[in-house]
Amino acid sequence: MKQNIIVGQSGGPTAVINSSLCGVVAEGLKQKNIGHVYGMINGIEGFLQGHFMDMRPLLGSGELELIRTTPGSYLGSCRYKLPEDLAAPIYAELFRRFQQLDIGFFFYIGGNDSMDTVSKLSRYAAQHDNPICFIGVPKTIDNDLVLTDHTPGFGSAARYVASTVREIAIDAAVYDNKKSVTIVEIMGRHAGWLTAASMLARKFPEDNPRLIYLPEAAFDQEDFLSKVTNHLKDIPNLVVCISEGIQDKNGTFICEYTSKAGTDTFGHKMLTGSGKYLENIIRDKIGVKVRSVELNVCQRCSSAMLSATDLAEAFSSGAFAVQTALTGNTGKMITFCRSSDDPYLITFGTADVNQICNQEKKVPQEWLCAGGSNLTEDFITYARPLIQGNVSVPMEDGLPKFAYRS
């Protein structure tokens, strides 16, 4: 008897999370033992309210191909934490719904929190001798999942960050007869992988961004101001990249210093980022022209800087998830194993999802240098292969054409 697949997307979107979805759907529909592939609308949360769709009609219509290069989560997302107590009634309810749909295989595309969902569901299944296989497909621009070389979504976000910082540095340099500082704030609350990617923008070692600060190193404001002053002695236009999550040696986020300081019209704290805070400090203490740029959500939703490598790997990891589930694997996340940097060689594997969920992989301390204001070439060797290749996104009336769930 044929069994069905259900797949969902969870957590923050990326530029290639839909490519992973397409990998699951295309591979699932290829398998002769699979009947339907269902998509959960808004992840586990929407599914609990009965929201799902049949994915097969997307295959013949060319829609699946369009979904592959569409950023964001085609199926919608959620941030929903299942209870720790596996005896909570919600589990029985979920499995009742799985049974109704003859689900044999469950795929969840997401980051740490989504792997927590896979962990809990697979443990519940094991406790109840339920044969459904639960597999996690990694996704996060933060690149902070353990036991995998990297995660889909990071390569495209890194390519966006590197090319955008290179462009911002050019923009900042047009008044090269006047000193200036440009601070670029990049996503990453606890892990600095994406901020580190700004290093790829350099064309030579002393090029901008001269200073790069990650949450992995304690941020010292006095040392920062002294470094900025020194660099301004030999280049007119300094570009500094910082993670949104930089923090001082006491673990206080730098952006928290702003919210302590400012209040708005309603007496509420003014919530601005670390970049804005450092902009104000530099204006006050050094007195040069200064600007801060927050790359914001564009980092995770830009289709213009899709990495062909990332897009293809996302698709393949989704397809591999189906293959490995059909061999009976459950409670696993798909992992990327690198055997060589140049030529870049990757194979897929699996790891116990319980060892991945709720963990964070940081940038190694030995890759940090210059008192935490720069990185070694190890990072370039690691990251360069992940940003390779252009993707030709379909265009319509001069703009990228995307797929939408109707």
**CB of 166 or CB of 210, closer to a second copy:** 166
Instruction: Quote the least distance from Cβ 251 to a second copy, whole Å.
Output: 19
Of the pair 189, 291, the CB lying nearest a second copy is at: 291
In the numeric block, the tokens 């949450």 are attached to 215
**Mask: binding to a second copy, 9-38, rule CB under 8 A, as x and -?**
x--xx-------------------------
Judged by CB under 8 A, the residue of 2, 79, 81, 128 near a second copy is 79
Contact window for a second copy (CB under 8 A) among 19-27, 30-38, 129-137, 304-312: 304-312
Residue-wise burial string across 9-22, b where 16 or more C-beta atoms lie within 10 A, e elsewhere:
bbbbbbbbbbbbbb
- Indicate which single residue of 173, 286, 288, 346 sits in contact with a second copy (rule: CB under 8 A): 173
* 378 catalytically annotated: no
**Pairwise CA distance, residues 114 & 10, whole Å:** 6
Residue 17: in which H helix or E strand, if any?
helix 17-30
Q: Which is nearer to a second copy, 171 or 378 (CB)?
A: 171
Interface with a second copy in residues 371-390 (CB under 8 A): 384, 387-390
Binding-site member from 286, 304, 329, 346 for a second copy (CB under 8 A)? 304
Q: Does 302 bind a second copy (CB under 8 A)?
A: yes
| C-alpha torsion angle, residues 394, 395, 396, 397 (rounded to 10) | 180
The answer to whether residue 167 forms part of the interface with a second copy (CB under 8 A) is yes
| CA-wise closest residue to 217 among 253, 249, 195, 239 | 249
With binding defined as CB under 8 A, does residue 42 bind a second copy? yes
Does position 230 bind a second copy by CB under 8 A?
Answer: no
Task: Please tell me the distance from the alpha carbon of residue 254 to that of residue 203, in angstroms, as a whole number.
Answer: 30
Catalytic-labelled residue, pool 113, 116, 142, 310: 142
Q: 55 or 387, CB closer to a second copy?
A: 387
**Contact flag: residue 344 with a second copy (CB under 8 A):** no
Which amino acid appears at position 5 of this protein? I
* Contact window for a second copy (CB under 8 A) among 60-68, 223-231, 340-348, 396-404: 396-404
Q: What is the dihedral of CA 372, 378, 382, 385, to 10 degrees?
A: 120
d(Cα 276, Cα 278) in Å, to the nearest integer? 6
DSSP class of 62? S
Sequence-ordered list of residues with C-beta below 8 angstroms from that of 237, at least 6 positions apart, any chain: 169, 172, 173, 175, 176, 179, 180, 181, 182, 208
Interacting residues with a second copy between 245 and 274 (CB under 8 A): 257-258, 260-266, 268, 270, 272
**How many residues of this chain interact with a second copy, rule: CB under 8 A?**
74
- Inter-residue contact 185 to 293 (CB < 8 Å): yes
Among 3, 69, 73, 243, binds a second copy (CB under 8 A): 73
Give Cβ neighbours of residue 64 (< 8 Å, ≥ 6 apart).
Answer: 22, 25, 26, 55, 58
Q: Which of 60, 61, 87, 177 binds a second copy (CB under 8 A)?
A: 177
User: What minimum distance in Å lies between the beta carbon of 227 and a second copy?
Assistant: 20
Binds a second copy (CB under 8 A): choice among 22, 293, 334, 356: 293
Q: Does 222 bind a second copy (CB under 8 A)?
A: no
Return the beta strands (E) in 27-102 as ranges: 34-40, 52-54
Binding pattern for the stretch 127-166 against a second copy, x by CB under 8 A and - elsewhere: --------------------------------x--xxx-x
CB–CB of 33/176 below 8 Å?
Answer: no
Measured CA angle at 278 (ends 274, 281), to 5 deg? 145
> Segment near a second copy (CB under 8 A), from 72-80, 132-140, 238-246, 343-351?
72-80
CA atoms within 13 A on the CB side of 38: 24
Catalytic residues: 142
